[in-house]
Amino acid sequence: MQATSPAIPASTHHPAHHPETGFWRTYIFSTDHKVIGIQYGITALCFLFFGFLLMLMMRWQIAHPGEPVPIVGPLLAAVLGDVAARGVMSPDLYNSFGAMHGTIMVFLGVVPLAVGAYGNYLVPLQIGANDMAFPRLNMMSYQLYFLGGIVMLTSFFIPGGAAQAGWTSYSPLATAIPTDGQTFWLIGMVFLITSSLLGSVNLITTIIQLRAPGLTWMRLPFFVWAQFTASFLLLLAFPPLETAGILQLMDKLAGTSFFLPTGLAIGGKLADISGGGSPLLWQHLFWFLAHPEVYVLILPAMGIIGEIIANNTRKPLWGYKSLVFSVLMIGFISFLVWAHHMYLTGMGTRISAFFQTTTMIISIPSVIILTALLISLWGGSIRFNTPMLFALAFLPMFGIGGLTGLPLGFSASDIHLHDTYYVIGHFHYVVAPGTIFALFAGIYYWFPKITGRRMNEYWGKVHFWGSLLFMNLIFMPMFVQGLAGMLRRMSDGGLQYSAAKVPGVAGALSGPILGLNNFILWAAAGLAIAQIPFIINFFWSIAKGQPVRSDNPWEATTLEWQTPTPPPHGNFLKPPQVYRGPYEYSLPGYDKDYVPQNQPPG
Amino acid sequence: MNQLMERFLGLPPLASEHGQGVNDLISYLHWLMIILFVGWLCYFGFVLWRFNRRRNAKADPVGVRNHASSYLEIVVAGVEASLLLFVAIPLWAQRVDQFPSQDESTVLHIAAQQFAWNARYAGADGEFGRQDRALVSNDNVFGIDPADPKSRDDVQVLNEIHVPVNKPVIAYVTSKDVIHSLKIPAMRVTQDATPGLRVPIWFKPVKEGRYQIYCAQLCGNGHASMAQGFLVVESQEAYDRWLASKVGAATSFE
């Protein structure tokens, strides 16, 4: 046998090229950080799309309670059975979709895209490494993420459907709902959390150990700092939730009562427990993860925005050091703010004063980052390409998201706004036109490096303006609804609380406030249509996009652009040596307006 | 100024003494937010126009050389700190620490359940019967000890909760099953009703009327239709007549 296998001639065996591997090893069970990054990216984009479709159906339900969902109604009835009889979403199904929309968007969509895909693909390239520190562990974290996603998706089709207790899964409700959706949710979360833990260990080790010679900490691109901090948040915040998830699973399956108090009367079965547990303990453990998680969503987004703004203003980021320290400060303080989600559980003055103070303190580095990015524009020579448009729009959108956090961060004003649509508007401004715009910006920006082709600019701009318009038409009215007192998680959109149902009652919801549900539905449909150019552009450009003429089409300074396009296995043709900071644009004395990090001095 | 902001924000009608404080804080914060945002937006619009590549072909690598933004950040942090120290924390302390005396207040117990509100009044003797969590069951939501004579004249009602006007109300809020949240927008009060915890809240209704009670925490498939709870604020005489019309104990174990 040995004689028949062709030997690889030594002369063509380049050190950066490993022997050819088959389809499975190259694309499915790859240990190459770039392939894994793309796997994460494609999977996460699919989940984002799916989570968005769930939301579209929910928006129909609350705008038209009791009416069959158009187009997909018969499909829902056929596949899901009683919970969608005649194509009408039952409250059970609405609650399932609500819980899964949140879970999918956060744990299966945005985090895997922001950290799994961007972190995996770009961090080794930006620090001049061949691969991640632990390539096999990297492959395993993607596989666990994929399995977690499969478990979550499967839960839609079991009797009774997916989890119904919100993405927050508060006990005792999560335990009390008699179906198995919550069990699937918890098992899925254990997979997803394990995946994130492995991924974050890998990124942290890679950034500490594998930086190219000369790439000192203060020469790291801002994006790498953001990924580094986000990975620490994942590493330190997720274990409490993993533990809590297993405890809740025991409450559900083994009859324990970690989160179930004495004196619980729900049906017959749950009353038959020893009791003595604490529902508040679950909330503390959940939010101890879930607040840092918010920063896991936003920090990589800020990192992407920083890269794109520096590149397209053709000048260094303003206040690089204060940006880095602000990111680290956010990471640290994000562990001290969690209970601001719990002001109304019955919190005393001292504890609430502590959490209000930390919440105000964490707003300072956030404002510093936003201000530094805004000031970076001053004196620039701004190119308005598609990535830059998304990056620029991020700034005011994230601004709205951040500012509307203020009245929620003060416990006294939270009395009125807690659990209303004001909260929904607030965090969606942070995550949707905030983080997701940054992720779009990143896709348009790094697409030429990954595929060797550019995405179409015209359709990119159509995608941008449509998304910007409809995002605002969706989320701005939610502030109006929330201030008027409309609550979230109502499967009929507040109909039972409307002035029409309860005449003569002060504080009932007015017709126009309820009517906004319909307005938001059509805005959401508009947002769906605005994504069509992106989807077509994405696939069309992979095959037919304009080929790039250079390895560095944006004329950027950071190391990922100093590789062949697309980067081969092993990334760099020769190990890079770094001589300078990350954003040396428009420096006097050079003929070009950018100096790559690996260009020797002189 | 704040009235203008309240009208702009469309806050719902107000009928409690402390509610104006909540409204004022919301108004101050929205002034701050709007001023900051409009300021940012003006700057943003200007730089996008001024430093467009067509107008500014060569970038200045240094850009802004002054520290105006640092001073601005200090001012914003100062405003936030003042609101926190002088408005938000005192208002919260008044809500959760400075309760009026029980003798001068209407005292009631509220227990949420899927999907309704139970309320219990002390009745003629002015004292509640003994309660024990271990006694909570589907037909004894407050866990009342039936052997305690004080419990016999207690009055228990479902969904219709009456209180007299201009007299503080102290309510002990709990739940018998899952977490609910007692939210009465007109009173500007919200309190999670958590099984296993009994948390007191207080407010002083200042306007007669019938006010909606919301459940603000997802509590199951009937969450959206848990809308039958009302707080009825009426004159002392009307309240006394209403309470007298309820027979003690008879309604407590239905």
Asked if the model's pLDDT at residue A351 lies above 70, the reply is: yes
Q: What is the pLDDT of residues A217-233, one digit of tens each?
A: 999 999 999 999 999 99
Domain annotation covers residue A426: yes
Of B96, B125, B143, at which residue does a domain stop?
A: B96
CATH code of A437's domain: 1.20.210.10
Q: What mean pLDDT is predicted for residues B100-126?
A: 93
Nearest residue in chain B measured CA to CA from A361: B77
Q: What are phi and psi of A180, to 5 degrees?
A: -95, 5
Nearest chain B Cα distance for residue A262, angstroms? 6
Selecting from B29, B53, B137 the residue whose C-beta is nearest the C-beta of A407 gives B29
Instruction: With beta carbons less than 8 A apart as the criterion, state whether A39 and A450 touch.
Output: no
Beta-carbon separation of B137 and A505 below 8 A: no
C-alpha distances out from residue A474 to A59, A169, A416, A445, Å? 10, 26, 22, 26
Can you read off the two tokens belonging to residue A384? 């308005």
Asked if the model's pLDDT at residue B127 lies above 60, the reply is: yes
Asked if the model's pLDDT at residue B138 lies above 90, the reply is: no
Asked if the model's pLDDT at residue A169 lies above 90, the reply is: yes
Per-residue burial over A567-599, b if 16 or more Cβ lie within 10 Å, else e, is: bbbbbbeeebebbbbbbbbbeeeeeebbbbbbb
- Whether the CB of B178 is below 8 Å from some CB of chain A: the reply is yes
Number of folded domains that form chain B: 2
pLDDT band at A269 (very low <50, low <70, confident <90, very high): low
Selecting from B44, B51, B184 the residue whose C-beta is nearest the C-beta of A381 gives B51
Asked if the model's pLDDT at residue A43 lies above 90, the reply is: yes
Q: How confident is the model at residue A3, as a pLDDT?
A: 41
Q: What mean pLDDT is predicted for residues A361-368?
A: 94
Domain annotation covers residue A588: no
One domain for residues B70 and B14 = yes
Residues of B in contact with A400 (CB under 8 A): 37
Q: How confident is the model at residue A22, as a pLDDT?
A: 82
Q: What is the pLDDT of residues A68-118, one digit of tens each?
A: 999 999 999 999 988 999 999 999 999 999 999 999 999 999 999 999 999
Of B68, B96, B124, at which residue does a domain stop?
A: B96
Is pTM beyond 0.80 here?
Answer: yes
Of B48, B72, B96, at which residue does a domain stop?
A: B96
Pairing of strands B199-203, B209-212: unpaired
* 3-class DSSP state of B202: strand
Interface size A-B, in CB pairs within 8 Å, comes to 307
Asked if the model's pLDDT at residue A8 lies above 80, the reply is: no
Instruction: With beta carbons less than 8 A apart as the criterion, state whether A545 and A181 touch.
Output: no
Nearest residue in chain B measured CA to CA from A487: B216
* 3-class DSSP state of A595: coil
Q: What mean pLDDT is predicted for residues A563-569?
A: 93
- Whether the CB of B115 is below 8 Å from some CB of chain A: the reply is no
Q: What mean pLDDT is predicted for residues B204-221?
A: 96
Helix H, strand E, coil C: the string for A77-139 is HHHHHHHHHHHCCCHHHHHHHHHHHHHHHHHHHHHHHHHHHHHHHHHHHHCCCCCCCCHHHHH
Asked if the model's pLDDT at residue A1 lies above 50, the reply is: no
- Pick from A404, A319, A330: which is nearest to B69 by CA? A319
Beta-carbon separation of A492 and B225 below 8 A: yes
Q: How confident is the model at residue A193, as a pLDDT?
A: 96
Domain annotation covers residue B123: yes
Asked if the model's pLDDT at residue A157 lies above 90, the reply is: yes
One domain for residues B115 and B238 = yes
Q: What mean pLDDT is predicted for residues A381-396?
A: 97
Nearest residue in chain B measured CA to CA from A344: B191
Give the domain range for residue B211. 102-245
Q: How confident is the model at residue A12, as a pLDDT?
A: 42
Q: How confident is the model at residue A357, as a pLDDT?
A: 96
pLDDT band at B22 (very low <50, low <70, confident <90, very high): very high
Asked if the model's pLDDT at residue A315 lies above 90, the reply is: yes
Selecting from A382, A419, A483 the residue whose C-beta is nearest the C-beta of B51 gives A382
Asked if the model's pLDDT at residue A592 lies above 50, the reply is: yes
One domain for residues B233 and B151 = yes
For B172, the enclosing helix (H) or strand (E) is strand B169-175
pLDDT band at B252 (very low <50, low <70, confident <90, very high): very low
DSSP string, A402-437: HHTTHHHHSHHHHHHHTTBHHHHHHHHHHIIIIIIH
One domain for residues B39 and B115 = no
Q: How confident is the model at residue A323, as a pLDDT?
A: 97
Residues of A in contact with B59 (CB under 8 A): 313-315, 379-381, 585-586, 593
- Whether the CB of B109 is below 8 Å from some CB of chain A: the reply is no
Asked if the model's pLDDT at residue A17 lies above 60, the reply is: no
Number of folded domains that form chain A: 1
One domain for residues B46 and B113 = no
Residues of A in contact with B60 (CB under 8 A): 315, 379-380, 586
Nearest chain A Cα distance for residue B116, angstroms? 14
* 3-class DSSP state of A599: coil
One domain for residues B76 and B110 = no
One domain for residues B182 and B161 = yes
* 3-class DSSP state of B180: strand
Is the Cα torsion angle A126, A129, A130, A131 positive or negative in sign?
negative
Q: How confident is the model at residue A19, as a pLDDT?
A: 57
Q: How confident is the model at residue A6, as a pLDDT?
A: 42
Beta-carbon separation of B178 and A495 below 8 A: no
- Whether the CB of B83 is below 8 Å from some CB of chain A: the reply is yes
One domain for residues B78 and B175 = no
One domain for residues B117 and B202 = yes
Beta-carbon separation of A379 and B184 below 8 A: no
DSSP string, A561-594: GGS-SSPPTTS-SS-----S-S--BS-TT-SSSB
pLDDT band at B53 (very low <50, low <70, confident <90, very high): very high
Domain annotation covers residue B109: yes
Asked if the model's pLDDT at residue A51 lies above 90, the reply is: yes
With tokens 């019938």, the residue in question is B210
One domain for residues B109 and B89 = no
Give the domain range for residue A387. 33-263+271-562
Q: What mean pLDDT is predicted for residues B166-189?
A: 96
Q: Which one of A505, A517, A557 makes the best mutation probe of the B interface by having the most chain B beta carbons within 10 Å?
A: A505
Nearest residue in chain B measured CA to CA from A378: B63
Is the Cα torsion angle A583, A588, A594, A597 positive or negative in sign?
negative
Selecting from B141, B217, B222 the residue whose C-beta is nearest the C-beta of A419 gives B217
One domain for residues B233 and B116 = yes
Selecting from A316, A348, A411 the residue whose C-beta is nearest the C-beta of B61 gives A316
Nearest chain B Cα distance for residue A213, angstroms? 26
Q: What is the pLDDT of residues A445-474, one digit of tens each?
A: 999 999 999 999 999 999 999 999 999 999
- Which B residues 11-30 touch A at CB under 8 Å? 11-13, 15, 21-23, 25-26, 29-30
Instruction: With beta carbons less than 8 A apart as the criterion, state whether A342 and A354 touch.
Output: no
Q: How confident is the model at residue B137, as a pLDDT?
A: 86
Q: Which one of B52, B133, B190, B208 makes the best mutation probe of the A interface by having the most chain A beta carbons within 10 Å?
A: B190
Nearest residue in chain B measured CA to CA from A312: B53
Beta-carbon separation of B62 and A379 below 8 A: yes
Q: What mean pLDDT is predicted for residues B165-189?
A: 96
One domain for residues B83 and B122 = no
Domain annotation covers residue A225: yes
Domain annotation covers residue B252: no
Nearest residue in chain A measured CA to CA from B142: A263
Q: What is the gyration radius of the CA atoms in chain A, in angstroms?
A: 25
Asked if the model's pLDDT at residue A52 lies above 60, the reply is: yes
Q: How confident is the model at residue A558, as a pLDDT?
A: 97
Asked if the model's pLDDT at residue B218 lies above 70, the reply is: yes
% of residues, chain A, pLDDT over 90? 89
Distance of CA B220 to the CA centre of its chain: 21
Asked if the model's pLDDT at residue A235 lies above 50, the reply is: yes
Q: What mean pLDDT is predicted for residues B229-252?
A: 84
Asked if the model's pLDDT at residue B248 lies above 70, the reply is: no
Q: Where are the alpha helices (DSSP H) in A341-420?
A: 349-376, 386-403, 406-409, 411-417
By the 10 Å C-beta count (0-12 exposed, 13-18 middle, 19+ buried), A93 is classed as buried
- Pick from A128, A148, A117: which is nearest to A582 by CA? A128
Kindly provide the ipTM of the predicted complex, given to two decimals: 0.95
Nearest chain B Cα distance for residue A153, angstroms? 21
With tokens 């933004």, the residue in question is B69
User: What is the average pLDDT value for chain A, to the nearest integer?
Assistant: 93
Beta-carbon separation of B212 and A505 below 8 A: yes
Domain annotation covers residue A249: yes
Q: What mean pLDDT is predicted for residues B53-68?
A: 91
CATH code of B127's domain: 2.60.40.420
Nearest chain A Cα distance for residue B95, angstroms? 9
Instruction: With beta carbons less than 8 A apart as the criterion, state whether B181 and A342 touch.
Output: no
Tallying the residues shown for chain A, one arrives at 602
* 3-class DSSP state of A339: helix
Q: What is the pLDDT of residues B43-52, one digit of tens each?
A: 999 999 999 9
- Pick from A157, A169, A163, A170: which is nearest to A94 by CA? A163
